[in-house]
């Protein structure tokens, strides 16, 4: 990991604070509100399988291990995503796989492997995201490409690669409402952008370059104001930067460098309370909370149970599955009745 960074992310001066205030004053949510009441924290543990912790809201109390150690098969956890079926999908970087879990129980779905090692040419998968068309995109950091997979985990083509864009050492992915895809990239430090068909932005996909102050960008999210927020790792001097998602223009440094002992800014997301939560491995690992409108440090949301939080994800509490939904598609219909008739008769 590079440590000889020379760029500095500026703390907002008076003009920046006034700009932030104006944005907040004209605050109009542009994204559909999705009810969330749990926070998942993916942790990279030394000399052990990784784990995913589940925290409740609004108290941010540890509920359980959403994926317990010993059941996870996770080795160097990457990005997490919820599939359209409600299951949890996780990139396992060192194992070169994408794993799938029942979010209610933490158990593996089938053998737990949704994308097998090396399938589609993936190596060191770091990021994953579901597109508006239902495909799964996987960022393959080891082969500098983004690979498309269908709903069954089968490769269906290359979405983007280093042969057509500036991909090199990928991290996380994000799908925008218009279907375009953002990828955080390290060396060069940049946010890359692609149309829904994989066509790169501009000449090489560079949407936001290091000239903006990016140094090792990690997780990204859209805020309630519709702006793009990026966790900037920066070694021990982390920050959160805010950009216009339409053209990549820098708005401000929303969370100042090392605010609240941020250190390595890795994962981030807006909670159901509208505040911004950012994970950092600095100081033994913790989740910091920042005012969602102005970026001021509000305190540590969780630290006693957190060790090495690499990525976070806000989710809704999984619903209990209906007992009559025999095929697990979320609907009780003729297909379930057919399964019942197949097994009609005495149980042996």
Is 1 inside a domain boundary?
no
pLDDT surpasses 60 at 16: no
CA neighbours closer than 13 Å in the CB half-sphere of residue 6: 1
* Cβ neighbours for 78, distance < 8 A, ≥ 6 positions apart: 90, 91, 92, 93, 125, 126, 127, 128, 139, 172, 310, 311
First and final C-alpha spacing in the chain: 59
Structural domains in the chain (count): 1
Separation CA 309–CA 41 (nearest Å): 6
For 200-247, write each residue's pLDDT tens digit. 999 999 999 999 999 999 999 999 999 999 999 987 789 999 999 999
Q: Are 55 and 63 in contact (CB under 8 A)?
A: yes
pLDDT surpasses 50 at 132: yes
Strand partners, 42: 52, 311
Is 7 inside a domain boundary?
no
Tokens describing residue 85: 């079926």
Of 14, 7, 2, the closest CA to residue 212 belongs to 7
Q: What is the CATH number of the domain that holds 190?
A: 2.120.10.30
pLDDT surpasses 70 at 339: no
Domain range enclosing 143: 31-342
Is 283 inside a domain boundary?
yes
The Cα-based distances of 20 to 14, 74, 247, 271, 291 in angstroms read 10, 40, 18, 20, 12
The 3-state secondary structure of 158-183, one letter per residue? EEEECCCCCCCCEEEEEECCCCCEEE
For 328-338, write each residue's pLDDT tens digit. 444 566 765 66
Angle at 51 between CA 274 and CA 266, to 5 degrees: 45
Match 């339409």 to its residue by tokens: 246
Min mean pLDDT across 104-108, 151-155, 341-345 is at 341-345
Q: Are 11 and 252 in contact (CB under 8 A)?
A: no
The Cα-based distances of 104 to 86, 87, 315, 321 in angstroms read 9, 8, 12, 9
Is 13 inside a domain boundary?
no
pLDDT attached to residue 305:
92
Strand partners, 184: 191
Tokens describing residue 255: 């969370």
Cα 203 off chain centre by: 26
Separation CA 118–CA 173 (nearest Å): 19
Strand partners, 311: 42
Separation CA 308–CA 126 (nearest Å): 16
pLDDT attached to residue 68:
77
Separation CA 218–CA 95 (nearest Å): 20
Give the predicted TM-score (pTM) of the model: 0.82
For 172-206, write each residue's pLDDT tens digit. 999 999 999 999 999 899 999 999 999 999 999 99
Min mean pLDDT across 26-30, 287-291, 331-335 is at 26-30
């Amino acid at each position: 990991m590079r440590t000889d960074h020379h760029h500095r992310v500026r703390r907002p001066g008076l003009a920046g604070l006034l700009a932030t205030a104006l944005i907040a004053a004209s605050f109009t949510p542009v994204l559909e509100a999705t009810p969330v009441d749990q926070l998942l924290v993916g942790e990279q543990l030394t000399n052990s399988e990784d784990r995913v912790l589940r925290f409740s809201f609004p108290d941010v109390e540890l509920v359980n291990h959403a994926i317990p150690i010993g059941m996870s098969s996770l080795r160097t956890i990457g990005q997490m995503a919820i599939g359209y079926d409600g299951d949890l999908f996780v990139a396992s970087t060192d194992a070169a796989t994408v794993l799938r879990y029942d979010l209610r129980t933490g158990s593996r779905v089938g053998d737990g492997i949704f994308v097998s090692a090396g399938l589609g040419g993936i190596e060191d998968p770091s990021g994953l995201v579901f597109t508006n068309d239902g495909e799964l995109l996987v960022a393959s950091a080891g082969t500098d490409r983004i690979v498309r997979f269908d709903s069954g985990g089968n490769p269906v083509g290359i979405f983007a690669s280093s042969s057509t864009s500036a991909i090199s050492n990928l991290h996380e992915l994000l799908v925008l409402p218009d279907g375009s895809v953002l990828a955080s990239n390290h060396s060069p430090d940049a946010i890359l952008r692609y149309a829904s068909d994989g066509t790169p932005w501009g000449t090489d996909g560079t949407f936001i370059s290091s000239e903006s102050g990016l140094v090792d960008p990690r997780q990204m999210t859209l805020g309630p104001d519709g702006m793009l927020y990026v966790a900037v790792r920066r070694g021990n001097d982390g920050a959160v930067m805010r950009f216009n998602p339409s053209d990549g223009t820098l708005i401000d440094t929303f969370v100042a460098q090392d605010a609240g002992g941020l250190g390595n800014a890795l994962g981030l997301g807006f909670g159901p309370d509208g505040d911004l939560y950012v994970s950092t491995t600095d100081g033994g690992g913790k989740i910091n909370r920042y005012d969602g409108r102005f970026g001021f440090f509000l305190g540590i949301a969780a630290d006693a149970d957190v060790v090495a939080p690499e990525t976070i994800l806000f989710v809704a509490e999984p619903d209990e599955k209906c007992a009559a939904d025999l095929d697990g598609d979320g609907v009780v219909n003729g297909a379930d009745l057919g399964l019942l008739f197949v097994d009609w008769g005495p149980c042996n």
